[in-house]
Amino acid sequence: MQTNTTIFKILKKADFLLLGALLLFAFAGSILLARAQKAPGETVRVTVDGEVYGEYPLSQDAEIFLPPTNDSSADGFHGENVIVIAGGEVRMREADCKNQVCVRTGSISRPGQTIVCLPHRVVVTILKGEEVLDAVTH
Amino acid sequence: MPLRIDRTKRLTLDAFLVTLALIFSYVEVLLPFFPGLPGVKLGLANLVVLIALYRLGAKDAFLINLVRILLAGLLFAGAYGLLYSLAGGIFSFLVMVVLKNTGHFSVPGVSMAGGVAHNLAQLAVAMLMVQNVNLLFYYPVLVLSGIVTGILIGIGAVLLSKYLHRLS
Ligand SMILES: [Zn+2]
């Protein structure tokens, strides 16, 4: 208990100001993003290395298999990914990447939501029908 | 206050802290803190970096951090993960040094800022690597997790530092 009181004693005013600012920053962002995500998603876009691999309707159940490739470019080897569209949701069912972050992300269904497999440079994004945030990049 | 110690002892301490940080990195590979959320980790290795920053100064802490990231990257992550953790590790370190030098922040406060900076730098790298702006949707989660883990790590560093002090 004695250590607890010393920890509270060492916290300074600037700590709380910074905490407040960061919370506000996160909160404002989540409100803006929640507004963008209100509309139901319509299209699933799969990109590999920043290039569109394919677009699929969210309403139609499908299984998308991205085979491993072994090109000689600097980007090198891309492993295997299995994307499943079912019941209006998309998830990464399987991937042979090292970190498995994409698989653990779970299901997504709203526009703008994204599953990323960073090791394989694979991105699964849900679009509103047309582009969501893509206008910013082009 | 940086400790006044001779060179050999300092090098031994540096090596000890790098080893400790590597062990922490490995523990995190085995046990993800928030499974399911990309990029969200407790940042246990930052515990060591914080202690080094306050005990040995910015130069030693930076070297310890860099060696730790390079070794952990080679051992557990591979080239893409190395880039990712370098961005997070270096940016959060710079933010922590700047905040520490202002003298207005406590250790948990400095660590909190470092945690948020770490996550945001990694998000930026991820956005560049996969060329997708939609990753921005993760930023509120990453800011919040950076706050929580940063404060926890900061408190941990205060406690561990006291324990190490008692040992020496
Ligand atoms: Zn993956």
End-to-end CA distance of chain A: give it in Å, rounded: 56
CA of B125 to the centre of ligand 1 (A): 16
In sign, the C-alpha dihedral spanning B133, B112, B48, B41 is negative
Domain ranges (residues) in chain A:
2-37, 43-137
pLDDT number for residue B58: 94
For helices B107-130 and A2-10, the axis angle rounded to 10 degrees is: 70
Grade residue A20 by pLDDT with cuts at 50, 70 and 90: very high
pLDDT number for residue A17: 95
- For a pLDDT cut of 70, what percent of chain B falls above it? 85
Q: Kindly state whether B7 is in contact with chain A, defined as any CB-CB distance less than 8 angstroms.
A: no
Q: Kindly state whether A38 is in contact with chain B, defined as any CB-CB distance less than 8 angstroms.
A: no
CATH for A43-137 is: 2.60.320.10
pLDDT number for residue A8: 60
| pTM for this entry | 0.72
Q: Which of A12, A98, A118 has the CB atom closest to B109's CB atom?
A: A12
For residue A127, the chain B residue with the least C-alpha distance is B134
Nearest by Cα to B47 from B65, B31, B59, B26: B65
| Cα–Cα dist A114/B84, whole Å | 18
Average pLDDT (B143-156) is 92
Residues from chain B contacting residue A114 (CB–CB below 8 Å): 132, 134-135, 137-138
Locus of tokens 């960073």: A118
Fold of the domain spanning B7-167: Arp2/3 complex 21 kDa subunit ARPC3 (1.10.1760)
**A118 three-state secondary structure:** coil
Check whether A137 has a pLDDT greater than 50.
Answer: no
Cβ within 8 Å, pair A116-B108? no
Q: If you average pLDDT over every residue of chain B, what do you get?
A: 83
CA of A80 to the centre of ligand 1 (A): 9
pLDDT number for residue A2: 47
Q: Kindly state whether B82 is in contact with chain A, defined as any CB-CB distance less than 8 angstroms.
A: no
pLDDT digits 0-9 by tens, A52-111: 999 999 989 999 999 887 654 545 556 899 999 999 999 999 998 888 889 988 899 888
Cβ within 8 Å, pair A15-B143? no
Domain ranges (residues) in chain B:
7-167
pLDDT digits 0-9 by tens, B81-118: 788 888 889 999 999 999 999 999 999 999 999 999 99
